[in-house]
Amino acid sequence: MKEIIIGNKTFDLSKKTLIMGILNVTPDSFSDGGKYESFDDAIKQAKKMIEQGADIIDIGGESTRPGAKPVSQEEEINRVIPIIDALSSETSTPISIDTSKAMVAKLAIDHGAGFVNDVTALQADKKLVEIVSEYQVPICLMHMKGKPVDMQINPSYDEVIDEIKLFFQKRVHYALEHKIKKHQIILDPGIGFGKRTGNGIEDNCVILNRLNELLSLGYPLMVGASRKTFIGNICDQEKILPPSDRLEGSLAAACVAVLHGANFLRVHDVKETKRCLNLIECVMGMK
């Protein structure tokens, strides 16, 4: 798939990697929890990321960090819908709703969102597939082993890429069976979601190195490595880096992902990522 329509914009995925700026309006996200809980702070941050080069703003009202507990549908709606409503009226930049709940997705789309980002790949709420099919918006299906509350408690794989591929084949089949069109589907291998890191086992690095095997499935790929735990484990030989000190590793992971075929990058640091992509796209465009 070369083109994708998100909201009122058409993007040519053969020419650029799209940057999805992360806007967590939650008190407990692993990196920026509590920073953008207020309406004014959230709108300000969204506009800042747009100015810095974000192609899409991904708004989430429920943390999916390791150990996170779910929030109610009502709480999630109260967190995200006012932001989406205001932002969609003030900018033409496409908005993504980061949710696994059908009603949250429906209201978000009704208020201006044009993309659904579901970390459960249509498994948590059986009605979500109906909403995506009805509204014909793109959806990102992510691989996660377990749930946020338990996904990092001793995850294991015989072969991580093979398991992710099999998972995607099943979830794509489910989506297509329920009248979601092939051109709506994006896949995310779920960097940091139920993946092993530390003690010499780095599933996330394996995934980044072998993205081409996931691209063989025939769908665009999203990669969200920004500030994840494996970066903190790897990038300093003397100590584990906190999320606030993982910029360089995040940029390195983003560059590797693009060079291995990623079509979307989901990031916290839009300006820095955009500058890296400008250089990579120049290099890759040289004959």
* pTM of the model as a whole: 0.93
Longest distance between any two alpha carbons in the chain, whole Å: 53
pLDDT digits (tens, 9 = 90+) for 228-251: 999 999 999 889 999 999 999 999
pLDDT of residue 170: 98
Weakly modelled stretches of the chain, pLDDT under 50: 33
Residues 166-209: tens digit of each pLDDT: 999 999 999 999 999 999 999 999 999 999 999 889 999 999 99
Distance CA 247, CA 183 (A): 33
The DSSP output letter for 131 is H
Q: Which residues contact 65 (CB under 8 A, 6 or more apart)?
A: 28, 29, 30, 33, 148
Q: Which of 133, 86, 140 is nearest to 117 (CA)?
A: 140
Report the CATH number at residue 219: 3.20.20.20
Report, as residue numbers or ranges, the catalytic residues: 228, 266
> How many residues are there in the chain?
287
What amino acid is encoded at 57 in this protein? I
Residue range of the domain that includes 106: 3-285
Q: Identify the DSSP state of 240.
A: P
The total domain count for the chain is: 1
In angstroms, rounded to a whole number, what is the distance separating the alpha carbons of residues 120 and 26? 19
What is the pLDDT, as a whole number, of residue 67? 72
Closest by CA to 56, choosing from 101, 4, 107, is 4
Contact, 25 vs 60, CB < 8 A? yes
* Structure tokens given for 271: 């300006």
Question: Over the Cα atoms of the chain, what is R_g?
Answer: 17
Cβ(94)–Cβ(7) below 8 Å: yes
Contact 232, 36 (CB under 8 A): no
Q: What is the pLDDT of residue 74?
A: 94
- Using H for helix, E for strand and C for coil, what is the string for 63-105? CCCCCCCCCCHHHHHHHHHHHHHHHHHHCCCCEEEECCCHHHH
Residues 6+ away with beta carbon under 8 Å from 205: 230, 234
pLDDT of 199: 84
Report whether 233 contacts 219 (CB < 8 A). no
192 and 207 Cβ atoms separated by less than 8 Å: no
